[in-house]
Amino acid sequence: MTYQQLGNSELYVSKVSFGCMSLGNDDAKNSSLLHSAYDNGINFFDTADLYQNGENEISLGKAFKGIRDKVLIATKVGNQLKPDGSGWIWNPSKEYIIQAVEKSLKRLNTDYIDLYQLHGGTIEDPIDETIEAFEKLKAEGKIRYYGISSIRPNVIREYVKKSNITSVMMQYSILDRRPEESCLDLLYENNIGVLSRGGVAKGLLIDKPAKTYLNYTEKEVEKIQYYIKDLIGKEKSPAQLALQFVLQHPALSSAVSGIRTQEQLLDLVKVYEVPWLKEDEYSQLQNVLPVNFYEQHR
Protein backbone atom coordinates (compact mmCIF):
# COMPACT_ATOMS: atom_id res chain seq x y z
CA MET A 1 0.00 0.00 0.00
CA THR A 2 1.06 3.58 -0.70
CA TYR A 3 0.46 6.41 1.79
CA GLN A 4 0.16 10.15 1.44
CA GLN A 5 0.07 13.09 3.80
CA LEU A 6 -3.48 14.42 4.09
CA GLY A 7 -3.28 18.11 3.26
CA ASN A 8 -1.20 20.01 5.78
CA SER A 9 -1.98 17.57 8.60
CA GLU A 10 0.26 15.02 10.27
CA LEU A 11 -2.00 12.22 9.05
CA TYR A 12 -0.58 9.84 6.47
CA VAL A 13 -3.49 8.01 4.88
CA SER A 14 -3.51 4.90 2.73
CA LYS A 15 -4.19 5.81 -0.90
CA VAL A 16 -7.07 3.34 -0.84
CA SER A 17 -9.22 3.73 2.25
CA PHE A 18 -12.28 2.04 3.68
CA GLY A 19 -15.75 3.58 3.36
CA CYS A 20 -17.62 2.04 6.25
CA MET A 21 -21.10 2.84 4.93
CA SER A 22 -20.84 -0.49 3.08
CA LEU A 23 -20.65 -2.48 6.33
CA GLY A 24 -23.56 -4.68 7.36
CA ASN A 25 -25.23 -5.28 10.71
CA ASP A 26 -23.06 -8.21 11.86
CA ASP A 27 -20.33 -6.87 14.16
CA ALA A 28 -18.26 -10.05 13.92
CA LYS A 29 -18.26 -10.03 10.12
CA ASN A 30 -17.53 -6.31 10.09
CA SER A 31 -14.62 -6.78 12.46
CA SER A 32 -13.15 -9.56 10.33
CA LEU A 33 -13.32 -7.44 7.16
CA LEU A 34 -12.00 -4.30 8.86
CA HIS A 35 -9.06 -6.16 10.41
CA SER A 36 -8.29 -7.76 7.06
CA ALA A 37 -8.24 -4.28 5.53
CA TYR A 38 -5.84 -3.12 8.24
CA ASP A 39 -3.65 -6.20 7.75
CA ASN A 40 -3.50 -5.40 4.02
CA GLY A 41 -2.30 -1.84 4.54
CA ILE A 42 -5.48 0.26 4.81
CA ASN A 43 -5.20 2.62 7.78
CA PHE A 44 -7.98 5.17 7.13
CA PHE A 45 -11.60 4.31 7.91
CA ASP A 46 -14.46 6.70 7.15
CA THR A 47 -17.88 6.54 8.81
CA ALA A 48 -20.65 8.96 9.84
CA ASP A 49 -23.13 9.35 12.67
CA LEU A 50 -25.86 9.12 10.01
CA TYR A 51 -24.97 5.60 8.90
CA GLN A 52 -27.37 3.04 10.41
CA ASN A 53 -28.43 5.61 13.00
CA GLY A 54 -25.04 5.45 14.70
CA GLU A 55 -24.68 1.67 14.64
CA ASN A 56 -21.96 1.97 12.01
CA GLU A 57 -19.80 4.00 14.38
CA ILE A 58 -20.45 1.49 17.16
CA SER A 59 -19.39 -1.45 14.99
CA LEU A 60 -16.22 0.35 13.89
CA GLY A 61 -15.38 1.22 17.49
CA LYS A 62 -15.80 -2.38 18.59
CA ALA A 63 -13.63 -3.67 15.76
CA PHE A 64 -10.63 -1.50 16.57
CA LYS A 65 -10.78 -1.60 20.34
CA GLY A 66 -7.22 -2.37 21.44
CA ILE A 67 -5.53 -1.01 18.30
CA ARG A 68 -7.13 2.43 18.22
CA ASP A 69 -3.75 4.14 17.96
CA LYS A 70 -2.89 2.09 14.86
CA VAL A 71 -5.76 3.36 12.70
CA LEU A 72 -7.14 6.70 11.53
CA ILE A 73 -10.86 7.19 12.08
CA ALA A 74 -12.95 9.79 10.29
CA THR A 75 -16.60 10.49 10.95
CA LYS A 76 -19.14 13.12 10.00
CA VAL A 77 -21.66 15.45 11.60
CA GLY A 78 -24.50 17.76 10.58
CA ASN A 79 -27.50 15.48 10.18
CA GLN A 80 -29.60 15.55 13.35
CA LEU A 81 -32.08 12.76 14.05
CA LYS A 82 -35.62 14.02 14.53
CA PRO A 83 -37.05 13.48 18.03
CA ASP A 84 -39.60 10.97 16.69
CA GLY A 85 -36.91 9.06 14.80
CA SER A 86 -38.67 9.57 11.47
CA GLY A 87 -35.70 11.08 9.67
CA TRP A 88 -32.96 13.68 9.76
CA ILE A 89 -32.74 17.44 9.61
CA TRP A 90 -29.72 19.49 8.57
CA ASN A 91 -28.09 21.22 11.55
CA PRO A 92 -24.58 22.72 11.14
CA SER A 93 -24.89 24.88 14.26
CA LYS A 94 -22.06 25.21 16.76
CA GLU A 95 -24.29 24.02 19.60
CA TYR A 96 -25.31 20.86 17.77
CA ILE A 97 -21.80 19.95 16.57
CA ILE A 98 -20.42 20.27 20.10
CA GLN A 99 -23.17 17.99 21.40
CA ALA A 100 -22.93 15.50 18.54
CA VAL A 101 -19.20 14.89 18.86
CA GLU A 102 -19.68 13.54 22.38
CA LYS A 103 -22.09 10.92 21.09
CA SER A 104 -19.77 9.95 18.25
CA LEU A 105 -16.84 9.62 20.65
CA LYS A 106 -18.90 7.33 22.86
CA ARG A 107 -20.12 5.19 19.97
CA LEU A 108 -16.62 4.92 18.53
CA ASN A 109 -15.24 4.07 21.99
CA THR A 110 -12.44 6.60 21.63
CA ASP A 111 -11.15 9.79 23.23
CA TYR A 112 -10.50 11.54 19.92
CA ILE A 113 -11.47 11.57 16.25
CA ASP A 114 -8.69 11.88 13.70
CA LEU A 115 -10.81 13.70 11.11
CA TYR A 116 -14.21 15.23 11.86
CA GLN A 117 -16.13 16.26 8.75
CA LEU A 118 -19.19 18.38 8.09
CA HIS A 119 -21.53 15.98 6.30
CA GLY A 120 -22.70 18.32 3.55
CA GLY A 121 -23.29 22.05 3.73
CA THR A 122 -24.97 24.91 1.92
CA ILE A 123 -23.93 28.47 1.24
CA GLU A 124 -26.78 29.58 3.54
CA ASP A 125 -25.25 27.80 6.56
CA PRO A 126 -23.78 29.78 9.47
CA ILE A 127 -20.32 28.86 8.19
CA ASP A 128 -18.39 31.03 10.66
CA GLU A 129 -20.24 29.37 13.53
CA THR A 130 -19.58 25.90 12.14
CA ILE A 131 -15.87 26.68 11.88
CA GLU A 132 -15.87 27.97 15.46
CA ALA A 133 -17.26 24.63 16.61
CA PHE A 134 -14.57 22.63 14.83
CA GLU A 135 -11.79 24.90 16.07
CA LYS A 136 -13.07 24.59 19.64
CA LEU A 137 -13.14 20.79 19.43
CA LYS A 138 -9.66 20.78 17.95
CA ALA A 139 -8.31 23.00 20.76
CA GLU A 140 -9.88 20.64 23.30
CA GLY A 141 -8.23 17.61 21.72
CA LYS A 142 -11.52 15.89 20.90
CA ILE A 143 -10.70 16.03 17.20
CA ARG A 144 -7.29 16.20 15.56
CA TYR A 145 -8.37 17.78 12.28
CA TYR A 146 -11.54 18.75 10.49
CA GLY A 147 -12.83 18.89 6.95
CA ILE A 148 -16.01 18.90 4.90
CA SER A 149 -17.78 16.37 2.72
CA SER A 150 -19.23 18.44 -0.11
CA ILE A 151 -19.53 18.59 -3.88
CA ARG A 152 -20.66 22.23 -3.94
CA PRO A 153 -18.02 24.59 -5.38
CA ASN A 154 -19.47 27.66 -3.66
CA VAL A 155 -19.36 25.96 -0.24
CA ILE A 156 -15.86 24.58 -0.83
CA ARG A 157 -14.57 28.04 -1.76
CA GLU A 158 -15.95 29.52 1.47
CA TYR A 159 -14.23 26.92 3.64
CA VAL A 160 -10.97 27.30 1.75
CA LYS A 161 -11.14 31.05 2.33
CA LYS A 162 -12.32 31.08 5.96
CA SER A 163 -11.17 27.89 7.67
CA ASN A 164 -8.27 25.57 8.37
CA ILE A 165 -9.85 22.51 6.80
CA THR A 166 -7.52 19.60 6.22
CA SER A 167 -9.60 17.85 3.58
CA VAL A 168 -12.63 17.79 1.34
CA MET A 169 -14.46 14.58 0.47
CA MET A 170 -16.21 14.63 -2.89
CA GLN A 171 -17.57 12.31 -5.53
CA TYR A 172 -15.13 11.81 -8.39
CA SER A 173 -14.85 9.15 -11.08
CA ILE A 174 -14.44 8.61 -14.81
CA LEU A 175 -18.18 9.30 -15.06
CA ASP A 176 -18.16 12.26 -12.68
CA ARG A 177 -15.38 14.67 -13.53
CA ARG A 178 -17.16 17.77 -12.26
CA PRO A 179 -14.51 18.42 -9.56
CA GLU A 180 -11.91 18.96 -12.30
CA GLU A 181 -13.38 22.29 -13.40
CA SER A 182 -12.22 24.26 -10.36
CA CYS A 183 -12.34 22.33 -7.09
CA LEU A 184 -9.41 19.95 -7.46
CA ASP A 185 -6.93 22.61 -8.53
CA LEU A 186 -8.14 25.03 -5.85
CA LEU A 187 -7.66 22.43 -3.12
CA TYR A 188 -4.30 21.32 -4.47
CA GLU A 189 -3.03 24.90 -4.57
CA ASN A 190 -4.10 25.40 -0.95
CA ASN A 191 -2.60 22.10 0.25
CA ILE A 192 -5.98 20.68 1.24
CA GLY A 193 -6.32 16.94 0.78
CA VAL A 194 -9.02 15.42 -1.40
CA LEU A 195 -10.79 12.25 -0.37
CA SER A 196 -12.73 10.82 -3.30
CA ARG A 197 -15.83 8.67 -3.10
CA GLY A 198 -17.92 6.97 -5.76
CA GLY A 199 -14.88 5.96 -7.78
CA VAL A 200 -16.66 3.06 -9.47
CA ALA A 201 -19.86 5.05 -10.14
CA LYS A 202 -22.24 2.73 -8.30
CA GLY A 203 -20.69 -0.28 -10.02
CA LEU A 204 -21.21 1.01 -13.56
CA LEU A 205 -17.45 1.04 -14.10
CA ILE A 206 -17.13 -2.55 -12.89
CA ASP A 207 -19.94 -4.93 -13.77
CA LYS A 208 -23.35 -3.27 -13.49
CA PRO A 209 -25.50 -3.00 -16.66
CA ALA A 210 -25.30 0.41 -18.31
CA LYS A 211 -27.91 3.01 -17.41
CA THR A 212 -28.14 6.78 -17.30
CA TYR A 213 -25.75 8.40 -14.83
CA LEU A 214 -25.70 12.12 -14.05
CA ASN A 215 -25.91 13.80 -17.46
CA TYR A 216 -24.67 10.76 -19.40
CA THR A 217 -27.04 8.60 -21.42
CA GLU A 218 -27.11 4.82 -21.28
CA LYS A 219 -25.31 4.73 -24.64
CA GLU A 220 -22.54 6.98 -23.32
CA VAL A 221 -22.11 4.80 -20.23
CA GLU A 222 -21.92 1.75 -22.49
CA LYS A 223 -19.20 3.50 -24.47
CA ILE A 224 -17.00 4.07 -21.41
CA GLN A 225 -17.62 0.48 -20.28
CA TYR A 226 -16.36 -0.72 -23.67
CA TYR A 227 -13.17 1.35 -23.37
CA ILE A 228 -12.52 0.03 -19.87
CA LYS A 229 -12.84 -3.58 -21.00
CA ASP A 230 -10.48 -2.85 -23.87
CA LEU A 231 -7.86 -1.27 -21.60
CA ILE A 232 -7.73 -3.66 -18.66
CA GLY A 233 -6.72 -6.78 -20.54
CA LYS A 234 -5.43 -9.37 -18.10
CA GLU A 235 -3.28 -6.97 -16.13
CA LYS A 236 -5.85 -5.31 -13.91
CA SER A 237 -9.48 -5.38 -12.88
CA PRO A 238 -12.07 -2.73 -13.86
CA ALA A 239 -12.16 -1.50 -10.25
CA GLN A 240 -8.39 -1.11 -10.15
CA LEU A 241 -8.42 0.88 -13.38
CA ALA A 242 -11.28 3.09 -12.12
CA LEU A 243 -9.39 3.95 -8.95
CA GLN A 244 -6.13 4.50 -10.81
CA PHE A 245 -7.91 7.09 -12.94
CA VAL A 246 -9.10 8.91 -9.81
CA LEU A 247 -5.73 8.69 -8.06
CA GLN A 248 -3.93 10.01 -11.12
CA HIS A 249 -4.89 13.57 -10.20
CA PRO A 250 -2.25 15.17 -7.93
CA ALA A 251 -4.91 16.64 -5.62
CA LEU A 252 -6.08 13.19 -4.53
CA SER A 253 -4.99 11.96 -1.14
CA SER A 254 -7.08 8.80 -0.95
CA ALA A 255 -9.88 6.97 -2.74
CA VAL A 256 -12.51 6.08 -0.14
CA SER A 257 -14.06 2.82 -1.29
CA GLY A 258 -17.11 0.96 -0.07
CA ILE A 259 -15.89 -2.58 0.51
CA ARG A 260 -18.39 -5.37 1.20
CA THR A 261 -16.42 -8.58 0.67
CA GLN A 262 -12.95 -10.02 1.14
CA GLU A 263 -12.71 -10.46 -2.63
CA GLN A 264 -13.36 -6.76 -3.23
CA LEU A 265 -10.84 -5.85 -0.55
CA LEU A 266 -8.04 -7.97 -1.97
CA ASP A 267 -8.71 -6.52 -5.41
CA LEU A 268 -8.61 -2.87 -4.33
CA VAL A 269 -5.53 -3.07 -2.11
CA LYS A 270 -3.52 -4.14 -5.17
CA VAL A 271 -4.19 -0.90 -7.06
CA TYR A 272 -0.51 0.05 -6.72
CA GLU A 273 0.76 -3.48 -7.38
CA VAL A 274 -0.72 -3.94 -10.84
CA PRO A 275 0.68 -2.00 -13.83
CA TRP A 276 -0.25 1.66 -13.53
CA LEU A 277 -2.47 3.46 -16.00
CA LYS A 278 -0.29 4.72 -18.85
CA GLU A 279 -0.44 8.37 -19.89
CA ASP A 280 -1.98 7.56 -23.26
CA GLU A 281 -4.57 5.32 -21.58
CA TYR A 282 -5.40 8.06 -19.09
CA SER A 283 -5.75 10.56 -21.93
CA GLN A 284 -7.92 8.13 -23.84
CA LEU A 285 -10.32 7.73 -20.91
CA GLN A 286 -10.43 11.50 -20.49
CA ASN A 287 -11.55 11.96 -24.08
CA VAL A 288 -14.13 9.21 -24.50
CA LEU A 289 -16.99 11.40 -23.24
CA PRO A 290 -17.44 15.16 -22.91
CA VAL A 291 -16.50 16.43 -19.45
CA ASN A 292 -19.46 17.10 -17.18
CA PHE A 293 -19.78 20.20 -14.98
CA TYR A 294 -21.67 21.26 -11.88
CA GLU A 295 -24.90 22.94 -12.91
CA GLN A 296 -25.82 24.25 -9.45
CA HIS A 297 -24.04 25.70 -6.42
CA ARG A 298 -21.33 27.17 -8.62
User: What is the distance between the alpha carbons of residues 16 and 243, in angstroms, rounded to a whole number?
Assistant: 8
Which DSSP letter does residue 87 get? -
Which DSSP letter does residue 290 get? P
Number of DSSP helices (H) and strands (E) in the chain, helices first: 10, 12
User: What is the distance between the alpha carbons of residues 39 and 43, in angstroms, rounded to a whole number?
Assistant: 9
Active-site annotation holder among 12, 38, 51, 112: 51
The residue ranges of DSSP E strands in 157-197, in sequence order, are: 167-171, 193-197
Cβ contacts of 76 within 8 Å, gap of 6 or more: 47, 48, 49, 50, 116, 117, 118, 119, 149
Scored b (16 or more CB within 10 A) or e, 203-242 reads ebbbeeebeebeebeeebbeebbebbeebbeeebbbbbbb
Cβ contacts of 152 within 8 Å, gap of 6 or more: 121, 122, 123, 294, 296, 297
Phi, psi of 186 (to 5 degrees): -60, -45
User: What is the distance between the alpha carbons of residues 247 and 16, in angstroms, rounded to a whole number?
Assistant: 9
Of 115, 105, 118, 114, which Cα lies nearest the Cα of 162? 118
Identify any residues that bridge with 259 across adjacent strands, giving them in sequence order: none
Look up 51 and say whether it is catalytic. Answer: yes
Residues known to be catalytic: 51
